[in-house]
Amino acid sequence: MEIFAHRGASGNFPENTIAAFMEAARLPVFGVEFDVHMTADGELVVIHDESIDRTSDGTGYVKDMSLAELKKHDFGNWFSPEFLGETIPTLADVLEVFDSTDHKLNIELKSDIFPYEGMVEKVLDLIAERQMESRIIISSFDHSAISTVKRFNPQIETAALFMEVLVHPMDYLNKIPTDALHILFPAALRPTIAEVINSGMPVRTFTVNDKTYAQTLKQAGVQAIFTDYPEKLYSFFLSK
């Protein structure tokens, strides 16, 4: 079972911060997942929510703030005072952390609520600049963004994200088109997902922090899990 550190090692570190990514980079896990939004001045930043309210000492939407404004806020103290001083990372900052590791990097484009015009092009340009194409999976709940990635660069691996129970998933996935399916844990165990697995398309499941569920998914043929506790799940599969 391949293990992805979800939002970095987000169980024990503030999600989507350099602290969480440094921990993931230290671990011998397969990959890391993180979420990308775009600022008012067109910068790519790594944060899960559309707003900074939950994970910082500030309020407001990322799309309405410049990178300089966002950088004034603390993104560590909400999690624990130990992490006071963490700031919002840019996508370039995060790619830099993994520059000399061999982790697979799953960039999730969070353009499903706000469309972030031009974000796909900016992400692809940055990946090309850093020559990281072969290490990247771009995923999104915004399947139009996945289509756009494939149109601009068919070599980049993509994944469509779903939370729903799917009917005839292969018809839809091939239409987008996409290389893989990333799906919420309970929906991953429905019989229609076995069709996807049997077709040879990778199926990866989020968010799995429980060892028993992870084992069940492995038996079902799921290729990878996203977990907030990468070290724990990695050790579990190592011991099997």
Contact residues toward ligand G3P (CB under 6 A) are 6, 33, 35, 48, 108, 139, 161, 182, 206-207, 226
Nearer to ligand G3P among residue 2 and residue 69 (C-beta):
2
Question: For binding to Mg ion (CB under 5 A), which residues are involved?
Answer: 35, 108
Helix (H), strand (E) counts: the chain: 10, 9
- 228 contact, one of Mg ion, ligand G3P, none, CB 5-8 Å limit per kind: none
- Residue 36 has phi, psi (to 5 degrees) of -120, 130
Is 73 labeled as catalytic in the residue annotation?
no
- Please, what is the minimum distance in Å from the beta carbon of residue 191 to Mg ion? 26
Task: Choose between 51 and 69: whose C-beta lies nearer to ligand G3P.
Answer: 51
* Nearer residue to ligand G3P within complex by CB, 69 or 112: 112
- Continuous segment of H or E residues that includes residue 237: helix 230-238
Q: Give the residue at shortest CB distance from ligand G3P.
A: 206
Query: Which residues, 6+ apart, have CB-to-CB distance to 57 below 8 Å?
Result: 73, 74, 77, 78
First-residue to last-residue Cα distance in the chain: 11
Q: Which residue, judged by CB position, is nearest to Mg ion in the bound state?
A: 108
- Which does residue 139 bind out of Mg ion, ligand G3P, none, counting CB within 5 to 8 angstroms by kind? ligand G3P
Is 103 a residue of the active site? no
Strand (E) positions, the chain? 2-6, 31-38, 44-46, 104-109, 136-140, 157-162, 180-184, 203-206, 224-227
Closest to Mg ion by CB, 35 or 43: 35
**What minimum distance in Å lies between the beta carbon of 35 and ligand G3P?**
5
Q: Computed over its alpha carbons, how large is the radius of gyration of the chain? A: 17
Count Cβ neighbours within 10 Å for each residue of 121-143 and write b for 16 or more, e otherwise. Answer: ebbbebbeeeebeebbbbbbbbb
- Given Mg ion, ligand G3P, none, residue 140, with its beta carbon under 5 to 8 Å by kind, binds none
Query: Smallest distance, Å, CB 141 to ligand G3P?
Result: 7
- The one catalytic residue among 37, 48, 73, 143: 48
To Mg ion, the closest distance from the beta carbon of 16 in angstroms equals 9
Give the three-class secondary structure for 70: helix
The least CB distance from residue 202 to ligand G3P, in Å, is: 13
Check if the beta carbon of residue 123 is closer than 8 Å to that of residue 109: yes
Active-site entry in 6, 37, 103, 143:
6
Distance from the Cα of residue 217 to its chain's centroid: 19
Cβ proximity to ligand G3P, 48 vs 130, nearer residue: 48
Give me the active site residues, please: 6, 48
